[in-house]
Amino acid sequence: MRIVVTRNVPEAAVELLRGAGQVHVCERDQALDPAELREVVAGADGLVTMLGDQVDGAVADAAGSQLKVVANVAVGYDNLDVPALAARGVTVTNTPGVLTDATADLAFALLLMATRRLGEAERLIRSGEPWFFHLGFMLGTGLQGKTLGIIGLGEIGQAVARRARAFGMRIAYSGRRRVAADVESELDARYLTRDELLREADVLSLHCPLTEQTRHLIDAAALATMKPSAVLVNTSRGPVVDEAALAEALRAGRIAAAGLDVFEQEPAVHPGLLELENAVLIPHLGSATVETRTAMAELAARNVVGVLTGNGPVTPVEA
């Protein structure tokens, strides 16, 4: 069996993959361009991919009809054309669970940075500008008693909600469907329509996948519905937010601040956002801990090995 890994992954994952065949790791950190990707996958039975690798029917065809599995090292899989792969009999897998806490931690860090103006504060110190303590200096907003609105109360959304509860926040959410009653009652979470949530949230945190339905879910109209004091946090996918509309809303004070880990055209960031003190900008670090990235790569490897050895995938994506 030939297994192609599109970029560097932790050695522990490569070791696991060797249990199922010959492993070719593209020793690089940046995504291959589409032509290089089609070239390198030729003859692969299994493919380990990640964010930035656009894997569609053409890539599967370039691999050949023996291709059995594409294992994305991410929980999100909007970079994969799942129907096209399924139509060719290819199993698609992702890495849910192992990155829940790391991503929730980062979402909460962004929430704190944005509500307490920590990016701006750090820049002030480094600028060498004089400062002194006074009662009105760099005031942020407290969290106690405030409402955290969550769009997409899946595993990561729930983990963020638990952290927020520890900070005394109330939880409300919207999404395609209601979560189980025991989860709602554990989190004391209210299910609202999207518009109700936009109107009520003091902090809005996005945890939905990127789909045709969620692309630009947070657009100018949604931002105009939010409170002027509200803070937006996005650790899901950049295109869920209309970045140009967000930059304008932040500039005009239509919402108070935003904490963003993801961007519409990564690694580019809308120039309007770069100029704003009330935008906290982080380069897609949601799952970026040593432990989590290793666990993600190992889970992807176990998925490949499972499919290629006939034992089945561990975490398949529904086609």
Please tell me the distance from the alpha carbon of residue 232 to that of residue 286, in angstroms, as a whole number: 16
Cα–Cα separations (whole angstroms), residue 189 to 192, 222, 308: 9, 21, 42
124 forms beta bridges with none
Task: Identify which of residues 98 and 192 has a Cβ nearer to ligand DGY in the complex.
Answer: 98
Question: Is 275 tagged catalytic?
Answer: no
> Does 76 contact ligand DGY by CB under 6 A?
yes
- Measured from the Cβ of residue 56, the count of other Cβ atoms closer than 10 Å reads 16
The set of residues, in sequence order, having a beta carbon less than 8 Å from that of 15 and lying 6+ positions away, is: none
Minimal distance in Å, beta carbon 50 to ligand DGY?
A: 7
Subset of residues 157 to 186 that bind ligand DGY, contact rule: CB under 6 A? none
Q: Is 270 a catalytic residue?
A: no
Residue from the set 75, 164, 218, 222 that interacts with ligand DGY by CB under 6 A: 75
Binding positions for ligand DGY, 97-116, rule CB under 6 A: 99
Closer CB to ligand DGY, residue 55 or residue 75?
Answer: 75
User: Can residue 239 be called a binding residue for ligand DGY (CB under 6 A)?
Assistant: no
- In sequence order, the β-bridge partners of residue 148 are 171, 203
User: Of residues 17, 74, 109, 208, which one binds ligand DGY by CB under 6 A?
Assistant: 74
In the sheet that 147-151 helps form, which strands lie side by side, from edge to edge? 189-191, 170-174, 147-151, 203-206, 231-234, 257-260, 279-281
Which of residues 32 and 99 has its CB atom nearest to ligand DGY in the complex?
99
**Site for ligand DGY (CB under 6 A): how many residues?**
7
Residue selected from 147, 214, 287, 303 as contacting ligand DGY according to rule CB under 6 A: 287
- The region of 68-76, 115-123, 134-142, 183-191 touching ligand DGY under the rule CB under 6 A is 68-76
Among 286, 298, 302, 303, binds ligand DGY (CB under 6 A): 286
92 binds ligand DGY (CB under 6 A): no
Neighbouring CB atoms inside 10 A of 248's CB total: 15
Does the protein bind ligand DGY through residue 51 (CB under 6 A)? yes
Q: Which of 155, 200, 248, 266 is catalytic?
A: 266
CB burial of residue 52 (10 Å; 0-12, 13-18, 19+) = middle
29: its two tokens = 């950190």
- Encoded amino acid at 74, one letter: A
Q: How far is the CB of 158 from ligand DGY (least distance, A)?
A: 16
Query: What 3 state SS string does 149-165 have?
Result: EEECCCHHHHHHHHHHH
Phi, psi dihedrals of residue 289, rounded to the nearest 5°: -120, 155
Catalytic-residue membership of 216: no
Stretch that binds ligand DGY, among 69-77, 163-171, 182-190, 213-221 (CB under 6 A): 69-77
Task: List Cα–Cα distances, 18 to 60, 126, 188, 309, in angstroms.
Answer: 22, 48, 46, 12
**Any contact of residue 82 with ligand DGY (CB under 6 A)?**
no
- List, in order, residues 6 or more apart from 67 with CB less than 8 Å away: 41, 44, 45, 46, 47, 60, 88, 90
Beta carbon of residue 301, minimum distance to ligand DGY (angstroms, whole number): 15
Binding site for ligand DGY (CB under 6 A): 51, 74-76, 99, 286-287
Residues recognised as catalytic: 237, 266, 284
